[in-house]
């Protein structure tokens, strides 16, 4: 369980660091980045919600990050190929996460639709989802599964 928690923290931190850095070069404050996540629940009201909506955005962001790791872990427990080939499967998983988030989750949320297409944001976001979200999610989930198998075989407590 600790490895899954660590995975959620790492995935969430890598993703939000990317978003904050990307948008900071365009003059967007970190608070607004978190508020944009909360906009999925609050809509436009998120941007006038101050620190409270930013904290809600942070909570939502990390909930999603933990969910991404847990989904891979659940799938990998049933599909051993996901642990045997965690690197390539994690990269592909990152692409799938990008697609689901941008074409299912966000459109179904209260977040406003982008006013224009930003090819740099999209291309970098796909790469980030591959290598900073999908890959670490797969590696942490795989570590959780393999450490559990090792502790089950040895009789030692799980970590």
Backbone angles phi, psi at 49, to 5 degrees: -90, 0
pLDDT in tens, 48-102: 999 999 999 999 999 999 999 999 999 999 999 999 999 999 999 999 999 999 9
Q: Assign residue 50 a region: left if phi > 0, alpha if psi is -120 to 50, beta otherwise? A: left
SS3 call for 115: coil
Q: Assign residue 11 a region: left if phi > 0, alpha if psi is -120 to 50, beta otherwise? A: alpha
Domain membership of residue 120 (yes or no) is yes
Give the pTM.
0.91
Domain membership of residue 142 (yes or no) is yes
Which residues does 82 contact at the CB level (< 8 Å), separation at least 6? 72, 75, 76, 89, 138, 141, 142
Domain membership of residue 77 (yes or no) is yes
Q: Do residues 12 and 69 touch, judged by C-beta distance below 8 A?
A: no
Structure tokens at 124: 């970098």
Mean pLDDT of the chain: 95
Give the range of the structural domain holding residue 16, as residue numbers without chain letter: 2-154
Consecutive H or E run containing 125: helix 119-128
Domain membership of residue 159 (yes or no) is no
Number of domains in the chain: 1
pLDDT band per the 50, 70, 90 thresholds, residue 114:
confident
Q: Do residues 44 and 102 touch, judged by C-beta distance below 8 A?
A: no
């Amino acid at each position: 369980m600790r490895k899954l928690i660590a995975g959620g923290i790492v995935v969430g931190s890598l993703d939000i660091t990317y978003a904050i850095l990307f948008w900071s070069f365009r003059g967007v404050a970190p608070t607004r980045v978190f508020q944009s996540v909360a906009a999925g629940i609050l809509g436009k009201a998120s941007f006038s919600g101050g620190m409270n909506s930013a904290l809600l955005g942070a909570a939502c962001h990390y909930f999603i990050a933990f969910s991404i790791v847990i989904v891979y872990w659940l799938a990998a427990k049933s599909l051993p190929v996901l642990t045997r080939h965690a690197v390539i499967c994690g990269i592909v998983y990152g692409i799938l996460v990008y697609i689901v988030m941008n074409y299912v989750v966000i459109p179904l949320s209260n977040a406003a639709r982008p006013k224009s297409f930003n090819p740099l944001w999209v291309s970098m976001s796909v790469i980030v989802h591959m290598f900073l979200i999908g890959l670490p999610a797969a590696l942490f989930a795989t570590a959780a599964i393999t450490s559990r198998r090792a502790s089950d075989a040895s009789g030692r407590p799980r970590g």
